Amino acid sequence: MTRRYDLVIFDFDGTLADSLTWFRTALADVVDKHGLPPICEEKAERLRGLAPKAIMDELQIPAWKLPFIAADVRARAAENVDKIHLFDGISDALHALHAQGVTLAVVSSNGEVAVKEVLGPELTALFSQFACGAALFGKAPVFRKVIKKAGTTAERTLCVGDEVRDIEAAREAGCSAAAVDWGFATPQILSDNAPDYLLDCRTQLNGCVNNQAAGVRAS
């Protein structure tokens, strides 16, 4: 069996953990605090099918305000880790990749304390790097630093995320991109942005890494 990738970099929210279920309970307060237009359930669902810039335009968020909103959400997540849970099958997938000798890393806009608490000590120990608190649209430079520290190359790195901006960051860093359809963005908007792999099942991660991803490679 030929292993295609030596390093797998995971996004956290919406990829490893179901943060969206919790965030929906905090959304109204976040919107009110930062002076954003009201977001009903229908609008929130519609946002999942938009590109990042279109989401910013729809929510009328100026670029300067993003870091403040992100910091607020990070703080709230740290206070509510008991309400954020890993997706089913993630633990088994991470153990399987680690057992093959694949190096694992997390690059997330969420805080490191919250990420590690949700993962728990056993899964945290499987990861060699945690690059947390990354800017929402600044993951590519962080990917490069993680790759360098891991001692591999972009060509041997797979970045796994649930949003269009994850695909774009992977492409900018020269890595392969795997988009998961169980997170924030809809399968259609992910497919439209042509990731190397579009996954609908946690077990497909092994297929990507081992170059046996028939049926999940994006067309």
Kindly state whether residues 99 and 134 are assigned to the same domain.
Answer: yes
CA end-to-end span of the chain, whole Å? 24
Cβ atoms of residues 176 and 154 within 8 Å: no
Kindly state whether residues 168 and 99 are assigned to the same domain.
Answer: yes
The mean predicted confidence, pLDDT, of the chain is 89
Show which of 32, 55, 83 is a domain's final residue: 83
Cβ atoms of residues 182 and 17 within 8 Å: no
Q: Comparing 79 with 106, which gets the higher pLDDT?
A: 106
Q: Report, as an integer, the average pLDDT of 6-32.
A: 90
Q: What is the pLDDT of residue 214?
A: 43
Residue 2 belongs to some domain of the structure: no
Q: What is the pLDDT of residue 217?
A: 54
Residue 216 above 70 pLDDT?
Answer: no
Q: Report, as an integer, the average pLDDT of 35-62.
A: 85
Kindly state whether residues 183 and 151 are assigned to the same domain.
Answer: yes
What is the total residue count of the chain? 219
d(CA 21, CA 190): 20
Q: Report, as an integer, the average pLDDT of 163-167.
A: 95
Kindly state whether residues 103 and 145 are assigned to the same domain.
Answer: yes
Residue 217 belongs to some domain of the structure: no
Cβ atoms of residues 179 and 188 within 8 Å: no
pLDDT confidence of 98, banded at 50, 70, 90? very high
Residue 125 above 50 pLDDT?
Answer: yes
Show which of 47, 65, 83 is a domain's final residue: 83
d(CA 140, CA 137): 8
Show which of 39, 67, 83 is a domain's final residue: 83
Total-model pTM: 0.89
Q: What is the pLDDT of residue 199?
A: 94
Kindly state whether residues 67 and 141 are assigned to the same domain.
Answer: no
Whole-number Cα distances in Å, 73 to 99, 192, 219 = 34, 28, 35
d(CA 34, CA 136): 17
Of 22-26, 81-85, 94-98, 122-126, the poorest mean pLDDT is in 22-26
Structurally, the chain folds into a number of domains equal to 2
Looking at the DSSP bridge assignments, the partners of residue 13 are 17
Q: What is the pLDDT of residue 87?
A: 95
Q: Report, as an integer, the average pLDDT of 158-182.
A: 96
Kindly state whether residues 145 and 180 are assigned to the same domain.
Answer: yes
Range of the structural domain that residue 166 is part of: 7-18+85-209
Of 4-8, 20-24, 91-95, 144-148, the poorest mean pLDDT is in 20-24
**CATH number of 190's domain:** 3.40.50.1000
Kindly state whether residues 132 and 204 are assigned to the same domain.
Answer: yes
- Percent of the chain surpassing pLDDT 90: 56
